[in-house]
Every structure is written in structure tokens, then in C-alpha cells.
Amino acid sequence: MGLIQPTPSLADMIQAVRNAGSSHEEFFGYPVREDGLHLQQDPTEYASFVHFMATEVPAADLTLEIGIASGGQTKFLRDYWHARRTMVLDIGQHQVFPQWKRIKQSLNSDLILEIIDDSHSPKVREQLLPHAGKVDFAFVDGDHSYRGLKQDIFLTKELLRPGGLMVLHDTAAVGDCKKVFDELLFSSDFALLRNFQYRFGISVWKMIRVKRMPNAFNRMTGWGRI
């Protein structure tokens, strides 16, 4: 694992995101770089989030990413914030997913588990359960449907340690994700720590307690209180 980059100013962090390259110039507003990170993030919003992580969140031991696409976000964050170990989970069908094979070579973290499968499959949960209650940080950006995202949150809830952080993407831009965001505001187990909302919405939630552990019905259907 390499050294963590010194935290730049927010303006320089925004430039670093732009330099890393998006996966679609017209949609994201900055160029695609073939040998870049193929990010699916808004530069100002994402740079603000990474700056927050680098300056306000202590180093993590165990982290999880659900929905990595190219894995560019997984890499960029870990260049500025120390995550000792990383697990990734993606169904592997995104057009930029083939980039992950290259990008993971320079991941600044020990990649201890890589699951290329549907996050809602019971056998995926079985693979992750040995880490239940031990995950410090989870970035959840996979299925964007209401039930699919809630299934991912139920899974994340089993894996996070109390006090661990869960980050959701698109909680401002995608109707179903916004609906889940609104529900989470009433959760007794998660508290909104920060909300970076310039375009897509990156919300950071702290799991303050586990009063309500997900059951089989929650996991299978995506229904029920978080």
C-alpha cells in the first residue's frame, strides 16, 4: 500500500477529480481519459466529500464498496483517506467495469474480497457475514431502485460496526434514492452526518445503534423500516 496523498485545498481537489477523468464527458461535464478513472461523480460534490473524509474521518480498518462500476471512486477516495482493507461488490455488468482490472492494480488499500455478483443474492451475504459488525465504512452505489437500495442498506446494516459510516450516492438526483433518504431521516439507527448536495447527492450516515436488525423478510423484499 502506498502513502496517502496530502489533502489539497478544495479547489485543487476539484481539479484532481477533473484530471482523473469521467466516464461520460457530456453527462458529467469533464473529459473521459482512457487511462483515467472513469468517475461517475460531480467534481465539486465529490471533491467536497473526499475532502471531508480526508480531514474529518479517522483512518478505517475495514471498508466495503457496493456498486463500483470502474472502481475509479474506490481508488480516488483511498488515495486521500486511509482505508487499510477494502471489499468490493458489483454485478460486473456496467460498460466501464472492465476498467476495474487495471484500476485495482493501483488501489491504495488491501483488496481482501472481491465479489462479482448480485448484491441481493443470499450467497453474497454468506460471503460477507464473517465480517458482520466489523465494517467501519461502506459506500453504497449499486442498485438505484427503492427496494434494491433498501436491500443493500439492510445488508450494510448487518456488516457495519456501531458508529460505522454508510455513504449513499444519488440521494438527490434519483427519485427512489431520494425516497430512501427521506425514510432514513426517520431511522432510529442511522443519523445524517453530512449531506453533499450539488448535483447527485452524497449523503453520509452514521450507524448510531442497532435497535432494529434486518430480518429475512427485509432482506428478501427490501420492505420494512431501516
Ligand X SMILES: C[S@@+](CC[C@H](N)C(=O)[O-])C[C@H]1O[C@@H](n2cnc3c(N)ncnc32)[C@H](O)[C@@H]1O
Q: Is 201 in the site for ligand X (CB under 6 A)?
A: no
Helix (H) or strand (E) holding 85: strand 83-90
Binding mask 46-75 for ligand X (x = CB under 6 A): ---------------------xxx--xx--
CA atoms within 13 A on the CB side of 133: 4
Q: Which stretch binds ligand X (CB under 6 A): 10-18, 52-60, 86-94, 155-163?
A: 86-94
Residue 209 Cβ, how far from ligand X at the closest point, in Å? 27
Residue 193 Cβ, how far from ligand X at the closest point, in Å? 19
Q: Is 22 in the site for ligand X (CB under 6 A)?
A: no
Q: Which stretch binds ligand X (CB under 6 A): 102-110, 142-150, 182-190, 201-209?
A: 142-150
Torsion angle (degrees, nearest 10) of CA 137, 71, 126, 182: 50
Integer Cα distance of 119 and 128 in angstroms: 10
Integer Cα distance of 44 and 25 in angstroms: 15
Q: Is 157 in the site for ligand X (CB under 6 A)?
A: no
Q: Which amino acid is at 174?
A: V
Residue 100 Cβ, how far from ligand X at the closest point, in Å? 9
